[in-house]
């Protein structure tokens, strides 16, 4: 059976969940006759794919904000969401064979399964082997590239890590990994009195940021210190308290 979701729990039940597996959203209303015909078809086909896809229902009358956000103009409207975005959709009560084809387009490929194995691997070696197998079948698989890049960077192969990430469109996650790689390489080459020599496995960035800020105020290579702080902000994320505090401190020190 499809789970009813609304504006209060859509983020949790659909958007966040879609990063684990595809979520099919059935936009419907009680007065819609084609909806009453389509929903049982969706539920039957989804039940045959339990574990690979989830099905939820959104009543457009009770949740007009969601209907507007997703551009629903006619119902039934069915949208498949993966990794937080719509990847496939249709409007109207399609024949069952067409609905099956729609669901089949969302099923994990062998490359997807290899990436999942890499994510769950017990050792870096097993993970790397699984990610590379995925890339053999699908050379630009996002999950495999994102999984493999930090692994090869961790053993000092920063050039290959950057080559892997260069195949992906630039977004927040890719920028974060690129910044992490830049910082890791910088730390590896740093001298004992270099601010990045304080980088520790526990992820305590505050002493590093403090020393970099001092470098900007008093040191000779202000641009290098500034870029390092920006990289750390990328790694931490825009909402992290340290990023917000030291971004303000950086602006004050520069201007």
pLDDT for 238 equals 86
pLDDT for 187 equals 77
Is 32 annotated as catalytic? Answer: yes
pLDDT for 185 equals 86
The tens digit of pLDDT for each residue in 30-44 reads 999 999 999 999 999
Please pick, among 23, 32, 56, 72, the residue that the annotation labels catalytic.
32
pLDDT for 192 equals 62
pLDDT for 203 equals 64
Low-confidence ranges of the chain (pLDDT < 70): 190-203
Q: Which domains does the chain have, with CATH numbers?
A: 3-104 (3.40.30.10), 108-168 (1.25.40), 175-255 (no CATH)
Within 13 Å, how many C-alpha atoms sit on residue 111's CB side? Answer: 14
pLDDT for 151 equals 95
Interstrand relation of 23-28 and 77-82 (parallel, antiparallel or unpaired): antiparallel
Please pick, among 2, 5, 25, 35, the residue that the annotation labels catalytic.
35
The structure's pTM equals: 0.63
Report the number of secondary-structure helices (H) and strands (E) in the chain. 12, 5
Residue in 183, 173, 171 with CA at minimum distance from that of residue 224: 183
pLDDT for 44 equals 95
Is 35 annotated as catalytic? Answer: yes
Q: What is the dihedral of CA 30, 31, 37, 39, to 10 degrees?
A: -20
pLDDT for 199 equals 55
Residue showing tokens 């419907």: 28
How far is it, in rounded angstroms, from Cα 169 to Cα 62? Answer: 37
């Amino acid at each position: 059976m499809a789970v009813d979701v609304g504006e209060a729990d859509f983020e949790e039940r659909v958007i966040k969940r879609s990063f684990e597996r595809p979520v099919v959203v059935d936009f419907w209303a009680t007065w819609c006759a084609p909806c009453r015909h389509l929903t049982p078809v969706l539920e039957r086909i989804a039940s045959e794919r339990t574990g690979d896809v989830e099905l939820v229902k959104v009543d457009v009358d009770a949740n007009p904000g969601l209907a507007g956000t997703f551009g629903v103009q006619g119902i039934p409207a069915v949208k498949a969401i993966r990794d937080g975005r719509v990847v496939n959709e249709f409007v109207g009560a399609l024949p069952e064979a067409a609905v099956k084809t729609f669901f089949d387009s969302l099923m994990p490929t062998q490359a997807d399964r290899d990436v999942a194995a890499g994510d769950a691997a017990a050792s870096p070696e097993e993970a790397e082997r699984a990610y590379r197998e995925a890339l053999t079948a699908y050379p630009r698989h996002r999950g495999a590239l994102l999984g493999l890049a930090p692994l090869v960077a961790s053993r000092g192969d920063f050039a290959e890590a950057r080559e892997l990430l260069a195949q992906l469109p630039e977004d927040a996650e890719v920028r974060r990994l690129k910044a992490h790689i830049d910082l890791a390489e910088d730390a590896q080459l740093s001298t004992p009195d270099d601010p990045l020599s304080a980088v520790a496995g526990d992820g305590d960035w505050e002493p590093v940021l403090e020393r970099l800020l001092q470098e900007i105020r008093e040191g000779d290579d202000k641009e290098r210190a500034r870029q390092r702080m920006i990289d750390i902000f990328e790694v931490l994320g825009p909402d992290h308290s340290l990023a917000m505090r030291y971004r303000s401190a950086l602006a004050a020190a520069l201007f």
